[in-house]
Structure 1
Amino acid sequence: MESMDDNVSRSAEDIQDHQIEHINNEKFLQNIGGVIFVSLLMILGIGGNSFAIFVYLRKFKPSTHRTFIVTLAIVDLVTCCVPMPFVLVTLRYPIMFNNNVGCKVVTFLSYFMCIGSSIILLTIAAERYRKICVPHGRQISERMFKYICVLTVMLGILLSCPVPVMYGNRTVKTNVDRIVGTECNVNDDFAGTKYPALFNIVLMFLFFAALIILSILYALIGKQIFQMMKKISKTNQTNVPETNSETKTQTAEFVYSKPNQKDNKSRRGLVDNISDDKSVNLEISLGINGRGTKSDEIKTKCCELEKEYTTTNECEKKQKITINITRVLFIITVVFFCSYLPHLALRTAAFLNKNLLPNLSFVGTVIYQTFRWTFYINNMANPFIYGFYDSKFVREVRMLRRFWFARCLKYKQRSFGDAS
């Protein structure tokens, strides 16, 4: 009799497991868009960030710019290697996920990485502001940035510490009576309470506060860059020499002349560009026919003009490099915040309207489950931003590509020679 009861119990459990698996597969089909989307971002992110770390560490000189880029790339790479694969597992088993510890750890890591990235972007904006708007003030050094990284870790842990408490395995009801599943979400103890909503409201407030601060900083930076570019353009325009039909008077930045000869005849001077009051001023009065007369007057106020001309060019070059770096970091910041907006919009809509998700059609659910992961775009996009806007990064990538292509070709030739 007991054996019959055991067989009936096992049979009921098998039927229940089969029903749960069937429901799980149906929900997985609704998540297929998210699986494809996250998988694509993960593959591109792992390859791109690994390559960016290698190039910047091996081919770029130590600088705050390199430190920022490498730090962001490491954060993005960790996100692509840990939270993203975990998300794929939860999408594959939407109501059959039973790893409570894994849910707590990876969810904490996801929040921690997001908060850390935000603080790093704030630090980058502050460094760019000091670099461009206050160039003669105290700058953020590499050593100072290391301390900021330590502070970032501490602040990230502090803000993310409620996550392991509130998140974990959560019981999920199905359309079949007495059939329940489990998912990685706010656990049963905190589900239905105000604490998860309060926690997310605080994070959303910090998110928009950071967005406002970054907007103000980059607005000031943009204004200063506009003035710098205007000044550089004005300087280039003043370097065009002016001529007159009867008299030609020029102020030179570099002059070449031969030693005086015995006949005391004046010679022609080689005059290149017009300079400012700090440069050498060489005035040569020439006749209509362009030949010098005995009344030519040459006035030299200072020397070493070629050196000053070179220094001016180097200064302009450094300014252009600074502007280009700022543009790259600004685009990274814009992509970061834009990638979170669809996610926040969908989550807010679902929070305000509890009947939104249950009433969605199959296509609507697929779209929702796809675009709710748009915030992972920022973890994939940065290496491609470098490829579009960082000319030095592009050059190094091309050189490495040629190097590895040559090595592969040489290896194939050697293998072909050994085989023959």
Structure 2
Amino acid sequence: MNQTAVQASVWQQRSYRWILFGQLISELGASLGTLANSWLIYQATGSQGAVGQMWLLYFLPSLAIQLVAGPYIDRFDKKRVMIFSQWMRAAAFCLSFAIITSGTESLWPLYFTALINGLVQPLYVPASQSLLPALVKREQLLQANAYLDSVLRIALITGPPLAGILVASIGGESVLALVAISYALSGFFLVLCPIAPADTVNKKQSWFVMFKAGLAIFWQKPLLLWLGLYSALVQFAVGVTLVLNLPFVAGELQGTSFHVGLFLAGYPLGYFFGSLLVPRFRSSFGQPLIMLGSLVVGGLSFVAIGFTHEIWLAITIELLAGLFAPFFQVHSTSLYQLHVPSELMGRVLSVRLLIVRATMPVGIWLGGQLSDQVGMRPLYISVGAVIVLASLAGVLFRKFVNNRIFHI
């Protein structure tokens, strides 16, 4: 089947179209909700620590649910899991909107919304990823995944600036209502999606046995563990800057909510274009240097932000950081797919995701604790310097660069 025929047949799948449109609305709603929640909390408290607490309420439950529920997600109907997740989020944002607009000065509804998001996200993501093979044919999977990934990037690019405009024009409280509507619509599209209930898996293996099998691969192929640790280091830095980005742009750089949105959109926009360039640099000999070089650039971007005093320069730096990021992330994921047995892929990737995401709450906590004490600029510079030094150490460590995994 040629490429044009594959594309046409993918779009002919009614179920796939509903999933795609629902995903677009859901991701746009997520972008709106993230900025609106952060803006309302920072506007009310003026504290980076308060914003950090919101992110901790999202990531810590998310991490716990992911650890416990990951091996068992196949035991439930994926469509119902996704509908439940979307409508739970819609209800949380609706409740938050109702309480905030009633005149109360309490911020607990915003934190409650973050908590609900953290609880359902680890259910929604694996369910949506594993549902796709039931919607399209095997030869259509690559194209179908590409469209879904494009939808995610479009939402990440357009969502933050749109959220900034809406917060400035109608207020953060009203944006909460729009987010609730977006999640409700996404769930409704899933209801319309004609998917036959799949047979649920009822394996007798315990959670510990399944988790241990995934963990064993890292001892057999240590380089995969090192790749996971590098990703974890990056996520730690991202956790620190999640607390800093909004107050840095709005405070240090004197930006508006629209500028905050543009700043947050810079990285995914760069990532989108960078992912198109990755296939052009596929030399096996240079793969480890390309990967570590992209991390060096990413670390330098944090350092550069720490010295920046112009808002448009900061946005440009974020754009460039996103442009180089896929050169590590895409290659790293491909190495896992090439060297992990297919029957263990899900478990190994779950362990990898756990390693990567476990460091983000630490970064969020540290950013919230230290930003008021040492300042935001020193934190940007420090986390960037750590990434640069760790990446250069990998370049100098010849056993890493010359590992045979890179040359298969």
Shorter-chain TM-score tier: under 0.3
Higher-Rg member (1/2): 1
- Bigger relative contact order, structure 1 or 2 (CA pairs below 8 A, ≥6 apart): 2
Higher strand share: 1
Q: So what's the TM-score if we normalise by structure 2?
A: 0.27
